[in-house]
Structure 1
Amino acid sequence: MSEMIAPTGGAITPDESGVLGDLARFEATVRAELERVGLPSQDVFVDVHERAMMVSNVSGVLAPLAPAIRDRSHYISKMIAAATVGLFDAALNYLWDELVNELRQRVAGFDLSYFFDIAVGASELRKSLKTEDDLKKISDQNLLEASREIGLLTDVGFQRLDHVRYMRNHASAAHPNQVTLTGLDLAQWLQVCIREVITTPPDTVTAHTGKLLANIKKDRLDADAIRDAAVFFDQLPPDRAATLGNGFFGLYTAQNRTPVVADNVRTLWPKLWPFIDEDTRQSYGVRHARARASADTGVATAARELLDLVDGAAYLNADVRAAEISEALDALMSAHQGWNNFANELPAARRVANLAGDQGNIPEPVKAQYVSTLVKTFLGNNSGVSWAAAEIYKALLQQLDGGAAGRMLRSFMDPDVSYRLSSRIGQGQWRELLEIVEPKLTSQTDRALLDAIRAFSGTPDKLRLDTAITKKVKQRPH
């Protein structure tokens, strides 16, 4: 009789051999019962050696988890149980349930209102989001993206977890599939979830943000706290300053805000304003217009107060069309991020096209959102581009002027766009996007940037990491 080989490559010990034998006997018993009642018994269970591969790695993977965390990790128990009996697709589903549950707990322990403001902004859904239970109304992808935006996930962590989410949607029991999973796959994905969500503490900026938000809601800030906040704002990365600005905006325009919160936001808003980028500032004018258009007087009044506080009247939008375009873009992005997006994007894309008109004259306040949304939907996701709406996206992009083309050219600086450019599909779409952009560019600066992008030897998802490229990005067109 030949010697059995352990998952690690060495000879199987008597104990391991006994485990493999037990699993095989259990499988045989279940198969016999399935056949007895006339049900399929083939292609139901994963090979015993794959199960042993997963189980043999569990102890090491779980080692970083404190006993208190293990006590509450019921979905991990279900995952291991499902994997042990050979149901890897169900095991992956339980693993994802554990990840989502832990991430929701992290969000709840940070600041729910802040998270909801970042996750859904001023959409209609925001009005129904109040408690921890309402986190279930946030889609899994939106949960990941908003968690990254507020700093609960790193960029690398987001990419790894989004891959697990993709596999859960395409290789788990959640959806019909023919994808083969291995024991190492499950063990590695469990390790990713533990490292990136369960055991990783928030970074310094996130921790400081959480403390500041708690203080804003608790009592009026004294001079020392205000001075410390101003120093903190000066050290924020641009994207985190914009996120914090959106959070302050949401706190101030909330119907249930307290006088203490209102006073603190009014005090801090002028100090944060210099660090908020132009596109985000424009978005506040759009949110004011949307509130006016929907007769939401309280929100509109509060938004105007914040803009007036920093002499931001220039960001007010007199054209309600901009607000409608913004709402249509929100709906399009929701469809793009949702299930069965290839078909569901079409009605939302048609709505955007109707509002844009034949000439594609887009109001300045929503141009950044317009370009960003079209670029992302045009590039598609890991599964491809919406076959139903692809031609609409291309036509809308071709309508845009030279200024918008400059935005498209620089879109790779957005982490979300950069992530899409890491896939083969995204890279092919990016090359087509550059062909659309090229004839629209009129400035020497933009053309020099285009030449540098095309000459770049790496993959396009690495463009934003290249010093020479980013230097050209910052140069103003002339």
Structure 2
Amino acid sequence: MKNVEQKSHIFFSQTVNSTLSYFMSDYQEESRLVPSANYSSQIEQFEKNLLDFIEKYNLPTSQVLVQVNERLKVFKNVDDVVERVGLEQRQRSVYISKFIAAAAAGLFDAALNYLWDETIYELRRRVAQYDLAYFYDAAVGSSSDKRKKLTTEEDLVKVNDSELIQGAYEIGLVSDLGLKHLDYVRYMRNWASAAHPNQNEITGLQLIGMLETCVIEVITLPLSNVVANIKQLLVNIKANKINPADAKRIATFFLNLPRERVNPLAEGFFGIYTQPDTQPRTRQNVRLLIPELWERLDEHTRQQFGIKYSRFIANNDQDKEKLAREFLETVSGLSYIPDGIRAAEIQAAIENLLSAHRASLNNFYNEPPFATQLKRLIGEKGKVPAEIDNEYVLCLVEVFLTNGNGVAWNAETIYYSLLDQFNPDQALIAILSFSDINISNRLQHPLCQKKFKELIKMMKDKVSMPTVKELIHEIEKYSGPLDKLTDNSAIKRKVEALQKIIES
């Protein structure tokens, strides 16, 4: 035992010496650290000592550490990436330190895990500095059961990674491009990191590229002026009394809001209004402001407020039911209340299925019960309330495409059955789904690409419009990356022509 302890001491001493020799190597004129000329041999010696130590316990030593040349690729580029992060922020970035340490040791899967931890930590920190109620409404839905359990900053840990990123995107803390890139990093973290067992390999350039993505798109991303103004508006309506003249002035801000910010802001107002603990003065402020914003909402978002009202009825949440009706009365929106509560039940089933599907672990086991519940609500005739057609179709497309790693076999037969029930309008939504950012992000992965081609083939026989047939033809002959379909000029023209026909 003493001999083992002595060898352990020698091993750790060598580790420290190797690390010190690297960080005390050479300096450039601008005082930045660079690897010494013999760093490769030093790290090879470090690796030999480590593997010898492991081997003494008859443990596996092959396919444990990444090759030295791949590690050097990280260190040749890490300086430029990390320097993007300000000094104050760097001093709290513990997981970036762990990322570098794991990369140096040749444990790229662990490094990726640490990188994701840093990204999630920073995203939570940014969300906490924004308006939490607004974020929670965007992340999980203002009328969902989960929303009732989310109030404080401490509750952010109850929001899973997928909901966190999606909610941050909805309120403007993550860009369109950032959402796409983070979805890829999250995929790699789930299936190629130390998050759970796998045999996938990550190269040095891939690892440094993912670090750069997280640094640019989250860790150092500044708030846009629009997002900062929305944040201030939400603070003001909770802290100050707004009169009709103030509301008219604020309405000029609404006119200049980008389309992607309008709907989430209206949903934020709805969430604020229907929370039982909201101050009466704040509700009065919302009543003055929401009519000014209502005209800019798309039809689908307006229908969602009616569905949320129905969900409150279904859940016997009488306080929120009353407040939701007041909200709809304020904008003359009672016509958006569905005849029954079936639409609300289907909406809940869709949200449950997507939540199970997007979870990083056990989705293959968790999806089938929710898929079964959705099929039960839809029925044999495939009758879906028109106001949730869009959500229903996009949900089915997303789960049918898989998460990119594998098929949920026990749920797939249900997906085929429901897709087979699509009417021509639903088939058209499915065909155009590649323009939805969540679907587009999935199309980065080979398995999702294969499933999308299968989906298009299934939908082909359900439509008869010549313009739709022409669009399908363009998609089938397209040879580029499927996640870039929306950038193809020929496809873009077909989609625009089709939209004109639909609108007329």
- After TM superposition, is the score higher than 0.5? yes
Decide whether the 8 Å contact of 2:180 with 2:437 is kept in 1.
Answer: no
The structure 2 residue matched to 1:256, chosen from 272, 277, 284, is 277
The equivalent of 2:325 in structure 1 is: 304
The equivalent of 2:473 in structure 1 is: 454
- In structure 2, do the counterparts of structure 1 residues 146 and 228 end up closer, same or farther at CA, with 3 Å as the change threshold? same
The equivalent of 1:272 in structure 2 is: 293
Could you give the per-residue CA deviations for residues 51-104 of structure 1, whole angstroms, max 9, x where no partner exists? 233223222211121110111001111111122122222111111101110111
Q: CA deviation at 1:366?
A: 2.5
Decide whether the 8 Å contact of 1:410 with 1:473 is kept in 2.
Answer: no
- In structure 2, do the counterparts of structure 1 residues 426 and 187 end up closer, same or farther at CA, with 3 Å as the change threshold? closer
Could you give the per-residue CA deviations for residues 152-189 of structure 1, whole angstroms, max 9, x where no partner exists? 11111112122111111112111111122222222222
The structure 2 residue matched to 1:333, chosen from 332, 345, 354, is 354
The structure 2 residue matched to 1:90, chosen from 99, 110, 132, is 110
Decide whether the 8 Å contact of 1:285 with 1:365 is kept in 2.
Answer: no
1:5-404 maps to which residues of 2 (within 5 A)? 16-121=36-141, 122-222=143-243, 225-338=246-359, 339-404=361-426
- In structure 2, do the counterparts of structure 1 residues 421 and 57 end up closer, same or farther at CA, with 3 Å as the change threshold? closer
The equivalent of 1:475 in structure 2 is: 500
Higher alpha-carbon deviation: 145-154 or 364-373: 364-373
Q: CA deviation at 1:14?
A: 11
Decide whether the 8 Å contact of 2:403 with 2:442 is kept in 1.
Answer: yes
Q: Write the distance in 2 (CA, Å) between the matches of 1:414 and 1:441.
A: 20
Higher alpha-carbon deviation: 167-176 or 218-227: 218-227
Could you give the per-residue CA deviations for residues 357-388 of structure 1, whole angstroms, max 9, x where no partner exists? 11111223332222221122223332244322
The code of the aligned residue for 1:170 comes to W
Q: CA RMSD in A?
A: 2.3
Q: CA deviation at 1:225?
A: 4.2
Could you give the per-residue CA deviations for residues 188-218 of structure 1, whole angstroms, max 9, x where no partner exists? 2211111111112123332222122121222
Q: CA deviation at 1:135?
A: 1.2
Q: CA deviation at 1:270?
A: 0.8
Instruction: Give the secondary structure class of the aligned counterpart of 1:324.
Output: helix
Q: CA deviation at 1:349?
A: 0.8
The code of the aligned residue for 1:469 comes to K
Q: Write the distance in 1 (CA, Å) between the matches of 2:35 and 2:391.
A: 60
- In structure 2, do the counterparts of structure 1 residues 92 and 418 end up closer, same or farther at CA, with 3 Å as the change threshold? closer
Q: Unmatched 5+ residue regions in structure 2?
A: 1-32
Q: Write the distance in 2 (CA, Å) between the matches of 1:422 and 1:36.
A: 43
Decide whether the 8 Å contact of 2:184 with 2:441 is kept in 1.
Answer: no
- In structure 2, do the counterparts of structure 1 residues 377 and 40 end up closer, same or farther at CA, with 3 Å as the change threshold? closer
Decide whether the 8 Å contact of 2:244 with 2:288 is kept in 1.
Answer: no
- In structure 2, do the counterparts of structure 1 residues 67 and 244 end up closer, same or farther at CA, with 3 Å as the change threshold? same
Q: CA deviation at 1:326?
A: 1.4
Q: Write the distance in 2 (CA, Å) between the matches of 1:380 and 1:15.
A: 42
Q: Write the distance in 2 (CA, Å) between the matches of 1:14 and 1:436.
A: 56
Higher alpha-carbon deviation: 73-82 or 14-23: 14-23
Higher alpha-carbon deviation: 209-218 or 299-308: 209-218
Q: Write the distance in 1 (CA, Å) between the matches of 2:483 and 2:195.
A: 30
Could you give the per-residue CA deviations for residues 215-260 of structure 1, whole angstroms, max 9, x where no partner exists? 1222123456423432232233333221111111111111221123
The code of the aligned residue for 1:80 comes to I
Q: Write the distance in 2 (CA, Å) between the matches of 1:14 and 1:161.
A: 29
Q: CA deviation at 1:294?
A: 1.1
Could you give the per-residue CA deviations for residues 415-442 of structure 1, whole angstroms, max 9, x where no partner exists? 2223333444334333333344344436
Decide whether the 8 Å contact of 1:377 with 1:385 is kept in 2.
Answer: no
Q: CA deviation at 1:148?
A: 1.6
Q: CA deviation at 1:17?
A: 3.5
Q: CA deviation at 1:468?
A: 1.7
The code of the aligned residue for 2:381 comes to Q
Decide whether the 8 Å contact of 1:328 with 1:351 is kept in 2.
Answer: yes
Decide whether the 8 Å contact of 2:463 with 2:469 is kept in 1.
Answer: no
- In structure 2, do the counterparts of structure 1 residues 89 and 450 end up closer, same or farther at CA, with 3 Å as the change threshold? same
The code of the aligned residue for 1:287 comes to K
Could you give the per-residue CA deviations for residues 27-50 of structure 1, whole angstroms, max 9, x where no partner exists? 232223222333333332222332
The code of the aligned residue for 1:163 comes to Y
Decide whether the 8 Å contact of 1:238 with 1:277 is kept in 2.
Answer: no
The code of the aligned residue for 2:433 comes to S
Decide whether the 8 Å contact of 1:107 with 1:115 is kept in 2.
Answer: yes
Q: CA deviation at 1:412?
A: 3.0
The reply on whether 1:434 has 2:460 as its aligned counterpart is no
The equivalent of 2:26 in structure 1 is: none
Could you give the per-residue CA deviations for residues 111-155 of structure 1, whole angstroms, max 9, x where no partner exists? 211111011002211111112221111111221222222211111
The code of the aligned residue for 1:215 comes to N
Q: Unmatched 5+ residue regions in structure 1?
A: 1-12
| Count, aligned residues | 463
The code of the aligned residue for 2:500 comes to Q
- In structure 2, do the counterparts of structure 1 residues 224 and 16 end up closer, same or farther at CA, with 3 Å as the change threshold? farther
Q: Write the distance in 2 (CA, Å) between the matches of 1:17 and 1:410.
A: 54
Q: Write the distance in 1 (CA, Å) between the matches of 2:192 and 2:460.
A: 40
